[in-house]
Amino acid sequence: MAKNVKKWGLVVILCLLALSVVGCSACGLWPVARLVRCPDLRQTRTARAPVRAAVAATPTPLMPQVVGQGDLEESLLINIYKRVNPAVVNIRVIQRVDGSSLGLPDVPGIQDNNDQFQQGVGSGFVIDDDGHIITNNHVVEKAEDVQVTFADGTIVRATVVGTDADSDLAVIRVDPSQSPLVSVELGDSDQVQVGQRALALGNPFGLRGTLTVGIVSALGRSLALGRTSAAIGGRFTIPELVQTDAAINPGNSGGPLLDSQGRVIGVTTAYEANASGVGFAVPVNTLKRVVPALIKNGHYAYPWLGISGTDLSLDLIEAMNLPVRRGAIVAEVTPDSPAAKAGLRGNGQTVNKSGREIQVGGDVITAIDAQTVERFDDILVYILRHAEVGQTVTLTVVRGGRQQTVQVKLAERPGK
């Protein structure tokens, strides 16, 4: 009897040990993992649920025409990239900077100790078989060395042919015998419309051959991206910029902005650092006007009027009791400028309007060569598009409540 008790006792102990092993393995743990709580042993006595086979998800069906449209758009973008990317280059520059501006100390006996060098990157695109490449002025400005990398990886040196800070455009050139050249097709920025597709090709953050896609968000933007002029104490404005939400980042500068046919409609030049999806490009028609002069002469001669001003506002209209509802008011006239010689007048009075002091009294320009002026930029755009240095333009102005005309002979912009 004692033997039987011992025998059955041993069987019970072995069974309990087996159950404890099964219970812990149900949660993927072995008995050695004593600190992790396991399921109740009673749960292990129930049959395990069968493992379900993976079910393939059935997507919501699309109409054939929708699928076809998606395929067409993909094919369009792929085709544009394959055609245009070989014409887009990565530009690497070495620029000399004044080390004193960085707070570096002078070391006696070492010449040019404050001369330091920094590296910059940008984009560009080939425009002809002679090796001319378009980029931004700010990409190659003060460059000591310019290197160009083509889409196939070929690296060559380039020389700066001409620069224009007032349009932020520059032309560099490579030896056409050093690499097979593929050039772009230039479009017409006057035909660009808000809402049309826009594609940016370039090298953001040095990532070569990057394509981003968006739309033309706005036209006719003006930004003070040009050079600072000591003659007038301000910056010349670049007008007619194309705004796009196609991603533009550092390194995109100088690359092409394309339409849906792969034609260049602008040169990417800036982006709004505090807002995503707000980038700007110099219109290609500005390129067509400026670049031939850069290739021929190394610079572009701008006709110059010599005024600064702003659009008319309701406060100005009421404060000056103006008989017109739109136009541009002359704020300042640069001394010894064409405008000064013609007798144009800037603001000379201050009035209080709704608790604010505003400057009034300047000539209000309502037309230039019989072309209506609705805002101040209209004057700048007209002069850049239709006038030349030495040409005389006729301004229609409102002065003292009366309309009159003023003849102005344009000069070349100062401060080159």
**Catalytic positions, please?**
138, 168, 253
Q: Containing H/E element for 284?
A: helix 284-297
Q: What share of the chain is helix, strand, coil (3-state, %, to 5)?
A: 25, 35, 40
Using DSSP's 3-state secondary structure scheme, residue 190 falls into helix
Q: Which residues are bridge partners to 360 per DSSP?
A: 349
- Provide DSSP, 337-384: SHHHHHT-----EEEEETTEEEEE---EEEEETTEE-SSHHHHHHHHH
Cβ within 8 Å of residue 254, ≥6 positions away: 91, 122, 123, 124, 125, 134, 135, 136, 139, 170, 202, 267, 268, 269
- The two three-digit tokens of residue 361, written as one number: 């009294």
Rounded to whole angstroms, how far apart are CA atoms 375 and 363? 14
Q: Assess contact for 384 and 310: CB atoms under 8 A.
A: no
Using DSSP's 3-state secondary structure scheme, residue 255 falls into coil
